[in-house]
């Protein structure tokens, strides 16, 4: 069975959309639900789910694209590192085109820097093993789904006795920005479409405090179109009943307690820190940096470099987009000066970025 295909069934999609329309018909105030995972953002645009929903339901995107929430200062450091003659940068592909203050990794590669795109952090460990005279730096960005894979690579490098594998770590954790956005008086969020695979790691219990403290419904939802619509239906039902609880739509993968082994790896290799988010600012305890006992693998400590002065991109609204306050269509640069081929801001780069998804699939 192909578990992606069965959850894309057209008739099911239409039936679910009709059910949501029936439930919300005649509401005067629309219900606003936020998704905080880039894969949801992409799925909602790719399958045109907004156009299937009635005007009584609005979906907005939050800070769910890992590449997009990574600030310029991180990219500037990666760029400074790639200019060292004995450094190989290994990264997931999306990072390459993200503009830093004055350059991008793509531009640096064209000028001769050794930058490799890998599928798994374990490929970067292999790269280090094969190039003992080089220092391999992996760009560790991503939320709780990706962070354990990076932890795994550090543990593998340690087990192999490698001293030339490093990680430039800027991991983020999800529940904190959701709390900040819930408390924002300028923003109306009637419910969260909670991330699918982040929740596979942290468990659905992690959102309970949002329901209790902020009275906001939370539904952990899968990525396929029927998943998203069923998740929205569950949020609608909660909102109408005046409830706020955590529910799991994506029960085929997500458990209440999450993945204990991955959580243990995170706790071993990383330490929480106050991470900077593009557009949102520094949030207490919202990121993961490498723990002191693995400091030898921390590129920031082990390979000191001079980093250029920070410059933000004029006119880019990424920060407001990541908070769900404006849509890409509100940005005067959208589609003109800023396109996926020549992005001005990070939200236009990754396929999980709201601007890139809006550009590719339209409204």
Partner 1 sequence: MCVGVPMQVVSVDGDFAMTEVDGVKREASLMMLDQEVKVGDFVIVHAGFAISKLDEEEARATLELMREVYSPELMG
Q: Where are the beta strands (DSSP E) in the chain?
A: 31-35, 57-61, 87-91, 115-117, 135-142, 165-172, 191-194, 218-220, 246-248, 270-277, 281-290
Binding piece for ligand SF4, criterion CB under 6 A, among 131-139, 224-232, 287-295, 310-318: 310-318
**Mask 190-229, x = binds partner 1 (CB under 8 A)?**
------xx--xx---------------------x--xx--
**Residue 128 site contact among partner 1, ligand SF4, none (CB < 5 to 8 Å, cut-off depends on kind):** none
117 near partner 1, judged by CB under 8 A: no
Q: Where are the beta strands (DSSP E) in 291-340?
A: none
Size of the site for ligand SF4 (CB under 6 A): 14
| Closest separation in Å from C-beta 97 to ligand SF4 | 12
Binding piece for ligand SF4, criterion CB under 6 A, among 110-118, 141-149, 277-285, 311-319: 311-319
SS3 323: coil
25 near partner 1, judged by CB under 8 A: no
Please state, in angstroms and as integers, the Cα–Cα distance from residue 140 to each residue in 168, 297, 346, following that order.
6, 12, 16
Q: Which of residues 225-254 bind partner 1 (CB under 8 A)?
A: 226-227, 230, 249, 251-254
Residue 290 CB neighbour total at 10 angstroms: 27
Segment (H or E) for 122: helix 121-130
How far is residue 9 CA from its own chain's centroid?
Answer: 27
Q: Which of residues 82-111 bind ligand SF4 (CB under 6 A)?
A: none
69 near ligand SF4, judged by CB under 6 A: no
Q: Which of residues 269-328 bind partner 1 (CB under 8 A)?
A: none
- Torsion angle in degrees (nearest 10) through CA of 67, 330, 175, 73: 40
15 near partner 1, judged by CB under 8 A: yes
| Closest separation in Å from C-beta 151 to partner 1 | 8
SS3 67: helix
38 near partner 1, judged by CB under 8 A: yes
CA–CA distance, 86 with 269 (Å, rounded to integer) = 26
Residue nearest to ligand SF4 (CB): 345
| Closest separation in Å from C-beta 43 to ligand SF4 | 19
**Mask 119-138, x = binds partner 1 (CB under 8 A)?**
xxxxx---------------
Q: Of 147, 318, 322, 357, which one interacts with ligand SF4 (CB under 6 A)? A: 318
342 near partner 1, judged by CB under 8 A: no
Binding piece for partner 1, criterion CB under 8 A, among 1-9, 74-82, 274-282, 310-318: 1-9
Q: Of 338, 350, 352, 357, which one interacts with ligand SF4 (CB under 6 A)? A: 338
322 near ligand SF4, judged by CB under 6 A: no
**Mask 146-165, x = binds partner 1 (CB under 8 A)?**
x-xx-xx--xx---------
CA–CA distance, 31 with 149 (Å, rounded to integer) = 36
Residues forming the site for partner 1 (CB under 8 A):
2-4, 6-7, 11-12, 15-16, 18-19, 22, 38-39, 65-67, 92, 94, 119-123, 141-142, 145-146, 148-149, 151-152, 155-156, 196-197, 200-201, 223, 226-227, 230, 249, 251-254, 259-262, 265, 350, 352
């Amino acid at each position: 069975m192909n578990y992606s295909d069965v959850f894309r069934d057209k008739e099911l999609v239409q039936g679910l959309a009709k059910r949501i329309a029936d439930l919300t018909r005649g509401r005067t105030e629309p219900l606003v639900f936020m998704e905080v995972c880039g894969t949801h953002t992409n799925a909602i645009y790719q399958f045109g789910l907004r156009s299937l929903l009635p005007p009584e339901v609005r979906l907005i995107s939050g800070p769910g694209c890992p590449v997009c929430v990574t600030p310029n200062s991180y990219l500037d450091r990666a760029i400074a590192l790639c200019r060292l003659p004995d450094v190989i940068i290994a990264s997931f592909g999306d990072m390459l085109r993200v503009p830093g203050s004055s350059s991008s990794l793509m531009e640096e590669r064209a000028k001769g820097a050794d930058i490799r795109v890998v599928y798994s952090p374990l490929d970067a460990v292999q790269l280090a093993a094969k190039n003992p005279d080089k220092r391999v730096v992996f760009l560790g960005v991503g939320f709780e789904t990706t962070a354990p894979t990076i932890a795994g690579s550090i543990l593998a490098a340690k087990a192999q006795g490698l001293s030339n594998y490093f990680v430039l770590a800027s991991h983020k954790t999800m529940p904190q920005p959701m709390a900040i956005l819930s408390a924002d008086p300028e923003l109306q969020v009637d419910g969260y479409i909670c991330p699918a695979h982040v929740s596979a790691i942290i468990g659905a219990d992690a959102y309970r405090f949002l329901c209790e403290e902020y009275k906001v419904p939370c539904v952990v939802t899968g990525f396929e179109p029927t998943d998203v619509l069923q998740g929205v239906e569950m949020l609608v039902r909660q909102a109408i009943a005046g409830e706020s609880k955590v529910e799991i739509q994506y029960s085929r993968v997500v458990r209440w307690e999450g993945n204990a082994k991955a959580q243990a790896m995170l706790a071993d290799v990383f330490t929480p820190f106050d991470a900077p988010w593009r557009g949102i600012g520094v949030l207490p305890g919202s990121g993961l940096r490498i723990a002191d006992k693995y400091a030898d693998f921390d590129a920031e400590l082990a390979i000191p470099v001079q980093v250029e002065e920070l410059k933000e991109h004029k006119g880019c609204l990424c920060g407001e987009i990541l908070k769900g306050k404006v849509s890409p269509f509100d940005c005067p640069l959208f589609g003109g000066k800023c396109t996926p081929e020549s992005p001005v801001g990070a939200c236009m780069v990754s396929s999980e970025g709201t601007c890139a998804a809006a550009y590719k699939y339209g409204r």
